[in-house]
Amino acid sequence: MLVLTLDQRASRHQEDKIDGLLGKLQGSPWAARFVRAFERTAGDEVQGLLDEPDDVVDVVLHLVRTGDWYAGVGVGPVREPIPSSVRAAAGPAFVNARKAVERAKGSAARLAVVGPDVVSAGDAEALLALLSAVVQRRRPQGWEVVDLIRQGLAQKDVAADLKISPQAVSQRLRSALWQEERRARPVAGRLLGAADRAKGRG
> pLDDT value at position 66?
87
Question: Residue 75: is its pLDDT beyond 60?
Answer: yes
- Are 30 and 97 in contact by the 8 Å Cβ rule? The answer is no
- Are 53 and 93 in contact by the 8 Å Cβ rule? The answer is no
> pLDDT value at position 200?
62
> pLDDT value at position 202?
45
pTM for the predicted model, two decimal places: 0.93
- Mean predicted lDDT score pLDDT of the chain: 94
Question: Residue 201: is its pLDDT beyond 70?
Answer: no
pLDDT per position as a tens digit, 42-67: 888 999 999 999 999 999 999 989 88
Q: How far apart are the C-alpha atoms of 199 and 91, rounded to whole Å?
A: 15
> pLDDT value at position 199?
72
CA dihedral 90, 91, 92, 98 (to 10 degrees): 0
pLDDT per position as a tens digit, 98-144: 999 999 999 999 999 999 999 999 999 999 999 999 999 999 999 99
> pLDDT value at position 13?
66
pLDDT per position as a tens digit, 18-44: 999 999 999 999 999 999 999 999 888
